[in-house]
Amino acid sequence: MKGSTSTAGYRSVGAGAAGSAIILTAACTSLWAGATGTGDGGDPVAIEITPADGTGDARSNVPITVGAANGTITDVRVEQAGGGPDGDIPARLGVEPEGADGDRYAMTGVLNKARTEWVSDWNLVPGADVTVTATGVNDDGAETEVVSRFSTEPTAKGKGLDLESNFPAGGQTVGVGMPVIVNFDLPVENKEQVENSIEVTSEKPAQGAWNWFGDTMAVFRPEKYWEPDQKVSVDMRLAGVEASPGVVGTQNRRLDFQVGREQITTVDDDAHEMTVRRDGETVKTFPISNGRGDTERYTTTNGIHLTMEKYEDMVMDSSTVGVPAGSAEAYRLDVSWAVRFSNSGEFAHAAPWNGNVGSANTSHGCTNMSTEDAKWFHDETLMGDPYIVEGTERELEVDNGWGFWQRSWDDWLANSPTGEPDATTEAGTPGSVHGAA
């Protein structure tokens, strides 16, 4: 569920007051700390902000809350300065132009229907100086403003969570099957809070969910392939999230990539044929030779693969897949126009030495093609294009390369810590990023 304006456990980015968005940055104040009032008549609105004004070393993963009695909340603003890795978060967070660092740290929150309680959506930057300014009015329209200033606890040395790598890279154009893959530099125990800190948005409707493969790799996959020709953005609001006891996210990151045309390749093992369809139309059909199949090692894996990387030239060495140099089955070959589709040594590549292309499966597990055909496939392939092998007796494992589409959608959801789909054209994520108060 997204877009709730009344349930603090779910987030609505930019929840509005009087039809306008409330932009916040975290801070806390006690009742009436720094209050100023304007207007006449009636008892003034009482505003309370937590954590309290003057608090030092506040936990970054506890939400800011603003409460109002004898009136309603009209505006909340949060500013954070300093903090982050090496204290380099900009001083003007939340007010810089779109695309600048400050834009990644703008705070939003949920305002309840009665407009008497506001709860921040995201965690705070560790080691930051925070200012929260809250405004409310009483029934007679008299306005009160409360300002609270506090600081958050810095991250302990060696305990700052950040990214080791991510796929795709920013600005990349990818195939319709491409997941979002985030590799962290430290193990994550609180997987639900971490994945809820990452918001995936797309221009065209989709729903997706996260699965984890080990404690450092999280993968977001839509229910169905992405619709082609659209932008996808990933806002990783990791600053302040407690990934594991004592391990806290240090900074926010943003990733934008483009989904290109839809290209789906099907390899028929029995017919020794590859068919490439683009935007629903068959554009090429190639003769191929797959793995010879006399052992599991030399059987091409069956199922839904994704193309992962490609090389104009590369050396294929059997020792990298468990066949040591000097053994009877050892090989070391220079190959051209190679496209990887698993982590068990499988590529589609040129094999001019294979006289059985189109008639028999005699490779060590790769898809062998003529040089001309392999070059075309190499040149026309994007990372994340679905590559479907049919007819072999060795099923692709879900964690072999990017075999994530091998899980049905029901199984994918069942393996998600939240257990709920996330609609990518709606604001927010399925659950809370915060820890226990």
Give me the active site residues, please.
349, 366
The β-bridge relationship of strands 160-161 and 46-50 is unpaired
Tokens representing residue 415 in the block: 């393996």
Distance CA 422, CA 413 (A): 10
Residue 272 CB contacts under 8 Å (≥ 6 apart), including other chains: 287, 288, 289, 290, 357, 358, 359, 360, 361
- Distances in Å between the alpha carbon of 28 and those of 147, 228, 373? 8, 44, 64
Run of H or E including 386: strand 386-390
Q: What are phi and psi of 372, to 5 degrees?
A: -65, -45
CB atoms within 10 A of CB 417: 19
Tokens representing residue 293 in the block: 């199949």
Distance CA 317, CA 330 (A): 8
Distance CA 156, CA 400 (A): 35
Residues 14-18: contacts with CB within 8 Å, 24+ apart? Answer: 14/108, 14/427, 15/108, 15/109, 15/110, 15/111, 15/118, 16/111, 17/73, 17/74, 17/75, 17/111, 17/115, 18/74
Where does residue 54 fall: left (phi above 0), alpha (psi -120 to 50 degrees), or beta otherwise?
A: left
Distance CA 437, CA 150 (A): 17
Looking at residue 424, the DSSP 8-state letter turns out to be T
Could you identify the residue written with the tokens 């140099």? 325
Tokens representing residue 219 in the block: 């993968």
Residue 334 CB contacts under 8 Å (≥ 6 apart), including other chains: 313, 314, 315, 316
Closest CA to 53 of 78, 82, 32: 32
Cβ atoms of 147 and 77 closer than 8 Å: no
